Copies of this chain bind each other. A is one copy, B any other.
Amino acid sequence: MKVTIKEVAQLAGVGVGTASYALNGTGSTKVGARTRERVLAAARQLNYRVNTFGRALKMDRSYLVGAIFPTVRHESIPEIMQGMEDELTRHGYGMLFYTYSELEELRSKCRCLLDKRADGIILFPEAPHRHDYYDFYRELAASVPVVATSGHRQEELPRVLVDGYELGRIGTEYLIANGHRKIALVNDWLDWRTDGYRDVLAVHGIPFVPDYVFRDFSRPHDGPGLLSWWLEFPPEQRPTAVFCPSDGSAADLQNAAHDREIELPRELSVLGTDGLIIGTLAHPRLSSMGQPHYRQGAESVRLLLELITGSAPENVLLQPTLIPRESVWNFNRKN
């Protein structure tokens, strides 16, 4: 399991330099076809595999990139990772996986990554409204290529994100098409979604009601929290549909509604975001704004690799797609 390039060269009867050129295809002008063949044959025979460390030491390139996520418990992360892994493997890179839950941990994990000489880092940013994080992103990006992967508004870093405006627009359009007029929007940090929502309402001549937008981040963002917010509206003003920022919160809202014996989806329609498989396990099965997580991962890698090889890549904007299922009531069809 420990055959070196020297032994390959010896068996092929050439110098180590020549063997290196032949093996890597570099200096293709410099090594004759017959010689190359001999080297390759010898390598195959000996089952030679390059020692990454020798190479990395000399070349100052590790072919490793780091991936840091705020917590794996966020359901869309596995799919993103899958996209990243596939794309990285196709380019001969390895992926170093880390998680963090607060800034200090992020710092120390990035230090680990730097120690391991990662060629670049893909960062899933959390809590993008906090300035200390922003400062750290900038500081980090100064010493190593970094790209952000997420739907957050992330001005600092090269990034791939999902078009929040379109997401809000398409989702709201769908609800309106199903006859909804009183539509609530639960906000996450993705403000663009609100713009899309508001614009579509305008197009259809539906007045924008500020109270229908849940912005209160001091309140719990979970099912019971959202439901009690919803219940505070007097019945005739109560939204007929709630547009949630994730499938988890949407399903949780549905379950809270079940507990109160509210009839779903007739009394309360719910539209999720993410289009995850968990949506099909909820009852009713969640309609959702699907996000292209796999592509998000793959594109992040593409960007990072460009960054590593020296070009200044353009940000990527991915489009969401509607996944209609059963959680939205259709007022137009007489059920």
Where the two chains meet, the residues of A that have a C-beta atom closer than 8 Å to any C-beta of B are 1, 49-54, 56-57, 62-64, 67, 71-73, 77-79, 81-82, 85, 89, 94-99, 109, 111-112, 114-117, 143, 248, 251-252, 254-255, 258, 277-278, 280-283, 285
Contacts and interface: CB of A to CB of B under 8 A. Distances in A.
A63 to B, nearest CB: 8
A77 B78 CA distance: 9
Contacts of A77: 78
Copies, count? 2
A95 B89 CA distance: 15
Contacts of A99: 82, 85
Nearest to A57: B53
A121 to B, nearest CB: 13
A71 B81 CA distance: 10
A73 B78 contact: yes
B255 A285 contact: yes
Given A72-B78, A115-B52, A280-B255, A109 B94 contact: no
Contact of A51 (B57, B72, B79, B283): B57
A148 B282 CA distance: 33
Contact of A283 (B50, B248, B278, B283): B283
A52 B52 CA distance: 11
A294 to B, nearest CB: 10
Nearest to A247: B281
A53 B277 CA distance: 41
23 contacts: A1-B143, A49-B111, A49-B115, A50-B115, A51-B57, A53-B53, A67-B97, A72-B79, A72-B81, A72-B82, A73-B78, A94-B96, A94-B112, A94-B116, A95-B98, A96-B96, A97-B97, A248-B277, A248-B281, A255-B281, A255-B283, A258-B283, A282-B283
A251 B57 contact: no
A250 B228 CA distance: 29
B252 A281 contact: yes
Contacts of A248: 277, 281
Nearest to A264: B283
A277 B252 CA distance: 11
Nearest to A1: B143
Given A95-B96, A99-B82, A281-B281, A89 B112 contact: yes
Contacts of A112: 89, 94
Given A258-B283, A281-B252, A282-B282, A53 B95 contact: no
Closest 7 CB pairs of A and B: A72-B78, A251-B281, A283-B283, A53-B57, A53-B56, A97-B97, A53-B53
